[in-house]
Structures are given as structure tokens and as C-alpha cells.
Structure 1
Amino acid sequence: MKDHSMNADATSWFRDPTMPGAPIIPRDDWDRAPWNRWTFQHVRDMVATTQVWRGQGQASPLPVALQEIDAIGFEIDGRRETIGAFLQSSYADGFLVLHRGKVVAERYMNGMTARTPHLSQSVAKSIVGTVAGILIERGLVDPGAPVTHYLPELGATAYRGATVQHVLDMTSGVVFDETYTALDSHMAQMDVACGWKERKHPAWPTNVWELILTLKQSECAHGAAFRYRSIETDVLSFILQRVSGMPLADLVSRELWAPMGAEEDAYFTVDPAGYALGDGGFNATLRDYARFALLHLGHGQIDGRQIVPAAWIGEIRCGNPDLFGDVYRDVLPQGAYHNQFWIEDTMRGAYMARGVFGQLIYIDPAAEFAAVKLSSWPEFLDAKRSRTALAAVRAIRDRLSR
């Protein structure tokens, strides 16, 4: 069920109704600052979307035992900070902390409410990776098989010879320019192909599948190094669609969102061909992102139901730090990437789902701790903000674990 709540011919859309007299939101900048402070909570008003149904069952419980966290202090880059000040200064929209199965903090800011869906950007990758684990356990997907076994059309691309595991780990070796602000990068083409921006270059792909088919160059051997390439998640998503015979949004609903006991429907943005954007178009409420975190803390089980294989959840933390490039170590000096998740520290085993503009789901099974932060930063990426967010959640974790 698609929601085409936009005027495709307009060069700009409507005024933010919460700000009388505010400028009209520009068509090609709706997902950028300052507009993202409003649009990340209203994405289905901006682009075409498709529903991820929560199903007919009861929502899985989220027991609440609130604790005061604002005064917790931490140090970052030589300065002292408190959680309260951090939440006020970090463009936070929603923040939730889980400890030992209970919600110990839950905050809504910038007009967000408990029922507001929020764009999570590349957190979507970890949603898709979790569903992949379910289908792999069933034998529908073999991570050691070539990508072309499932998508033979990619034999004419640089994905020839890459395995599903290479795609899961973003180690395929395919050239994909992830530069978010460059006007001629692959990411600029992705913005158009996925339906987020107007198509201004006639030769550019018209949808995500067409973009994948243009990737003909390699930068290194498959499996040689981790390079963050959003398109890898889309390749994985097309594999999941091919083996299941279902659109991605319906597959996520059937395998994850409904069985998990989500409280609200989620939704994906869709490209002009109707593909749900697996690499970054997922929207859900803060509490349902917390249920996703709780599912991971429970080794794939929630409310007594095994939804994701425990072995797959354990495998997420087994990334190879030797493949992790220096550019990523500024934020994660002991980090790795595996199965569509960021690993903070392979020794401790804490891992994360992350998205540009400050989206974060931090999961530490050893401490029975998770934190969800939904944000609308003015920047795509900011290493200082990322380090600060991680220091903040670690400080909360350490205080609760005393």
C-alpha cells in the first residue's frame, strides 16, 4: 500500500504547519538542515512511501522503571558534559534507554511524540540485515554463494565474483562514491534514483535497480577491505526479495515487525519503481526502535518468542577489525563492521545501528543495555558529535551497571 502524498510536479511543497509564516520547504533540500528538524518526523508528507504493517497481535511489553539520568557526567575530548546538557545541545528528537529489559529513560523533544515515526537513515541497513539472518537460517540464502546466484543480472557489473557475505559486510570491492555533499557522486545519483530528489540529469538512473546495474568498476579485490557503500544493502535487499517472492516492506513486516510485536506500523520510502529503500528509507517510532534493540539484547527473542536465530545475533559481533580502514577509526578505534551492523569493540561485543544526521541504536548485551537516539543534526556526519553520543551512552550504561 503506497502513500503518494506529494505533488510530483512541484518544485517546492508546503510550509511547515507548526511554524506560521515559515518559508516553503525546497524540493531538493527537504532532507537537509534546517528543514530536517521537521521533515524527519514527516517523511511520508514529503516522498512516496509504503507501509510496514505491525500485524494484528498485541504489542510486546516495554516495562518502565524510570531513573534520573540528566546529572550523569562524562568526559569527551577534554571537556566535561552531562547527559541533560548533551540532550539539549545534540539536536535530539527522541532518546530512550533500556536496562535489564526495562525502559529507564524516555524523552521526546523537538515536537516528537511517542506515536511519531522518525526517519532512521542507515539504521534501515541493520533492519534489513536482521531479516537476512532469518532467511539465512532457513536456508533460503547462502551467505557463501555468489551474488549472481540470486541476481544473475549483476554478472555484467563489478559484483561478478562477490558473495552475499561480501555484501553483508560491505567488502565487495565495487566502486561506489558515498560522498553525500558531492553533486556528481553515486550518492547524488542515489538521491534521484530512490525518489528523494528531482532527476536533473537525463542520463542518470531512474530507480535503484538501474543504479546498481551501472556499477562496473572495482577498487580492490572482493573481501580485501571494508568500505562503507550504502548500495550494498540494496543489493542484499533485492536478493531477499528474489528468494522470498515478496516486496521488502512486506517481508520486513512478516518476518520482523509483526512477530516482534511492534506497537505501530513502520514505513519505507519507495523509489519510482516501487522498491522500498533498504539502505536508508525506514521510519518508525522511538519505542518500536527500542523493541528492535530489546530483540537483539534477548539474543533474537522477545516476549518469550524466538524471532531471529540466536546464532545470527551472536555472529553480528564477530567482525574482522583488520578490514576496518583508518577513516572509520576516528569514531570507532577498536571497531569493525559485520552483517550490516557497526561493532564498537570486538572484545566487549557492543554493536550499533547508525545513520547519518545522528541516528543511533547502541546495543551492549554484556551489560543488558541499549540506547536509541533519533536526531536531526545539521550535518550528515560529525565525528565529534558521534564520539560525544557514544561517550554519553557509555556513561549511562556504566552508571546503571554499578
Structure 2
Amino acid sequence: MNVPPDLTLQNWQTVPHLHWAFQHLADFLPAARISRGSGPVAELRERRTALADLTLAGGATVGEVLDTTATDGWIVTRDGEVLEERYPSGMLPDTPHLLMSVSKTLIATVAGALVGQGALRPDTLITDYVPALAESGYAGATVRHVLDMRSGIAFSEEYLDPLAEVRLLEQAIGWAPRTVPDLPDTMYGFLRTLRRKGPHGGPFDYRSCETDVLAWVCEAAAGTRMPALMSELLWSRIGAQADAVIGIDREGTGMFDGGINACLRDLVRVGTLFLTDGVSLTGRQVVPASWIADTLAGGEDSRAAFAAGRDTARFPGGMYRNKCWLPYPGDDVVLCLGIHGQMIYVNRPAGVVAAKLSSWALPEENDKLMATIAAFDAVAAELR
């Protein structure tokens, strides 16, 4: 694949380059393969419908909403059947697409599998697994704190601020030009520099670094690097149709919080785990039923911690658990979200799993996000 000559570390996440870059990350950045293994592909039966023509409250159809929100691909399934699948901007069904923070859910699913094996304990201190973090702000934090983004770490997620920690992390791993000369030049080196601003276990505060720490913990607990670990515990067990890819730093450490790439249908195969007590479409137990139940129910104070967090007004009564958003006061809907419009949508009462991969111009576009959720909600209501 020929890389566009004007593509640079400075511009690849901006218009007009991101549409191409999100579908070709391994062509211009270091990456590692997450193998699907040699097992059977989980069948997704075909039963095409006219769901795209369903009219929403505002007068637009589902298809119009999804086709006009910078969508690269979208799919709706019910009980393992594909009801709609479209690629409105030239993406192909087997194209791996950057998942951004949907990657976080995949990392948490690996953590859930390790919990099921007894290799990882959520209430254990992070430093019991990764002593190298003892001098960082993560001293005293537990695995549960990072699973639910409730550590006290100082970390800005202001995507449009080039000096926010979320962007400095990209400089450290080689995803952006270096403007801070003394910044560490690896993922784990950067994580060791983070400091605490408040007590661990407080309000929910969205911090991408929490997933990077969680992945480091998983690697330490299993004694295996994440590409091989995810292949073993997740990707080879869901019946994925294609290998996934993860961006890596110069040491081979993954961009865990947002660097995984996968094709659209494989996101449905992941989302199905939230309908089936952790059992894949191939019949394999990927994560324990208790892990799915914990994700759906949350902890005793998960909703209160979410309500006390910053920028959570769009989901009143919701919560965040195990790297999943539960946007409504209940466990009916589960969301896995990534900036620039990446999503897995699960509606449990309707048996619906949907996904959308996108190239939004800006990292966060609330109108596009809420319109997509409303469209999938309407589809689920129609099918229910």
C-alpha cells in the first residue's frame, strides 16, 4: 500500500488524512499482529431487512443518520443474524479500522479472562503486579480503580490541547512529533512519570492512561505480551474472521488505550459476549458469566461515582464499569466508545448488537454520537 506522500505524524489524525489513515495504520506506524488463530470463523447468518429505512422521530431514516455521520462502516445484528451492513465511504468488509477507545473494552475483556483463570484479582494493588509503578502516582491504586477509571491520577483528556497528557502520551510512543524534548520515549516510561492529584477510588474521570496501566498489569500477571495474550484469550475464541492489529512503541509495547485495529464484523463478535454471559458465537466461554454480570451491575457506588464525575451529563443515571459505558439507569444497553466515532452498541432485551466505524473530523462530536445511539435505540425498539 502506498502511503500518501503528504501524510505525517502531525496530520494523520486530521482531515483529510484520517479517513485513509484509520484504515491503514500498519502501513505507516509500527504495529503487531493479534492472530485470530486457526479455529473456525463464527458464522453470522444473513437475513437482510429494511432497517435502514426506519424513520426516526426527527424525520430522518436510520440509514440517513448513519450514512451522513462520517461513517466508514455500520452493521446491525440480532441473535447472530446480519440485518443491515453498509460501507458508505469505500471501506471494505475485511478492512481493519482503528478502534480508538473501543480498544479499552478489548483490553478489559482480556483482564476479565485472566480474572476467570485466577491470574488477576481486581482488588489487588497495581504495584503487586508491576513494582515499577511504585514511585508513580499509581502507588496505592488497585486494579479495580483503573478498570473503572477511578484512580486519583492527574491526566488531561483534552484532545484539542497538544500539551494534554493524552497527547503527550502519543509523543512518547511515536504517534506524534516530539515537542517536549525530555519526554520519555516509551509507553511504560511515560506511565512511570504520572502523578496523583487526589485519592484513589474517587469519582469517575475518563483517563486513557488507566487502560495502558491495566494492560501492563495483564502482561505482568500472565507473563505474556498483549498481542499474544489477546490472541490466546480473546481473538482466537470469538471466531474472528481476521487478525487484528495493534500499534506499538519502539519497545514493542502496545498503544493499549486506542491503538487496536479490527474489521467491523469482528466487533459484533465481541459485543455478543454481553448478550450470552461471556460465551462466543462459536460456543466458547471467553470470560466468566460473573465478569459480564459484574460489568452490567457495577459496584455499590459505581453510579454515584459516575454522577460525581466530569463531563458525564450526556448519560444521566449511567455508569462506567470494566471499560464499558452503561448509559441508562439499568443494564439494557452497553456501549463501547472511541473518539472520531467508533462504537459497539449492545441492546440486551432486543438481542441486538450493532457497530459503527467512522472518520469524524473532530475527536468528539456529541451530535453525531447521540444521533447514532438514537438510531440504534430505534432499531432495537423496532425489533423488540
State the TM-score, normalizing by the size of structure 2. 0.95
Corresponding residue number in structure 1 for 2:141: 162
Instruction: Tell me the secondary structure at the aligned position of residue 97 of structure 1.
Output: strand
Corresponding residue number in structure 1 for 2:315: 332
Structure 1 residue runs of 5 or longer lacking an equivalent are 6-12, 16-22
Matching residue within 362, 365, 368 for 2:345: 362
Please report how far the alpha carbon of residue 272 of structure 1 lies from its aligned counterpart in structure 2 after TM superposition. 1.7
- Looking at structure 2, the residues matched to 240 and 326 of structure 1 have their Cα atoms a distance apart, in angstroms, of 26
Please report how far the alpha carbon of residue 194 of structure 1 lies from its aligned counterpart in structure 2 after TM superposition. 2.4
Letter of the 2:168 partner, please give it.
Q
- Looking at structure 2, the residues matched to 271 and 47 of structure 1 have their Cα atoms a distance apart, in angstroms, of 9
Please report how far the alpha carbon of residue 24 of structure 1 lies from its aligned counterpart in structure 2 after TM superposition. 1.7
- Looking at structure 2, the residues matched to 208 and 235 of structure 1 have their Cα atoms a distance apart, in angstroms, of 10
The answer to whether the aligner puts 1:313 opposite 2:292 as a matched pair is: yes
- Looking at structure 1, the residues matched to 15 and 297 of structure 2 have their Cα atoms a distance apart, in angstroms, of 36
Q: Please, what is the CA RMSD of the aligned residues?
A: 1.5
Corresponding residue number in structure 2 for 1:29: 11
Deviations 1:346-377 (A, max 9, x none): 42431111000000101122221111000000
Q: After TM superposition, list the pairs within 5 Å mapping 1:184-199 onto structure 2.
A: 184-199=163-178
- Looking at structure 2, the residues matched to 212 and 326 of structure 1 have their Cα atoms a distance apart, in angstroms, of 22
The answer on whether the counterparts of 2:43 and 2:80 sit within 8 Å (CA) in structure 1 is: no
Corresponding residue number in structure 2 for 1:8: none
Please report how far the alpha carbon of residue 136 of structure 1 lies from its aligned counterpart in structure 2 after TM superposition. 0.7
Please report how far the alpha carbon of residue 33 of structure 1 lies from its aligned counterpart in structure 2 after TM superposition. 2.0
Corresponding residue number in structure 1 for 2:274: 296
Please report how far the alpha carbon of residue 285 of structure 1 lies from its aligned counterpart in structure 2 after TM superposition. 0.6
- Looking at structure 1, the residues matched to 263 and 100 of structure 2 have their Cα atoms a distance apart, in angstroms, of 13
- Looking at structure 2, the residues matched to 59 and 161 of structure 1 have their Cα atoms a distance apart, in angstroms, of 42
Which of 233-242 and 33-42 deviates more?
A: 33-42
Structure 2 residue runs of 5 or longer lacking an equivalent are none
Matching residue within 228, 236, 249 for 1:271: 249
The answer to whether the aligner puts 1:225 opposite 2:197 as a matched pair is: no
Corresponding residue number in structure 2 for 1:392: 375
The answer on whether the counterparts of 1:317 and 1:346 sit within 8 Å (CA) in structure 2 is: no
Instruction: Tell me the secondary structure at the aligned position of residue 237 of structure 2.
Output: helix
- Looking at structure 2, the residues matched to 217 and 265 of structure 1 have their Cα atoms a distance apart, in angstroms, of 37
Q: After TM superposition, list the pairs within 5 Å mapping 1:3-402 onto structure 2.
A: 14-15=3-4, 24-75=6-57, 79-218=58-197, 220-302=198-280, 303-319=282-298, 320-324=302-306, 325=308, 327-401=310-384
The answer on whether the counterparts of 2:155 and 2:165 sit within 8 Å (CA) in structure 1 is: yes
The answer on whether the counterparts of 1:330 and 1:383 sit within 8 Å (CA) in structure 2 is: no
Please report how far the alpha carbon of residue 379 of structure 1 lies from its aligned counterpart in structure 2 after TM superposition. 0.8
Deviations 1:79-105 (A, max 9, x none): 432112112210000101111221111
Please report how far the alpha carbon of residue 327 of structure 1 lies from its aligned counterpart in structure 2 after TM superposition. 4.1
Instruction: Tell me the secondary structure at the aligned position of residue 24 of structure 1.
Output: coil
After the TM superposition, list the runs of 4 or more consecutive aligned residues in structure 1 that deviate by more than 6 angstroms.
none
Please report how far the alpha carbon of residue 326 of structure 1 lies from its aligned counterpart in structure 2 after TM superposition. 5.9
Letter of the 2:29 partner, please give it.
V
Please report how far the alpha carbon of residue 217 of structure 1 lies from its aligned counterpart in structure 2 after TM superposition. 2.9
Instruction: Tell me the secondary structure at the aligned position of residue 172 of structure 1.
Output: coil
Please report how far the alpha carbon of residue 109 of structure 1 lies from its aligned counterpart in structure 2 after TM superposition. 2.2
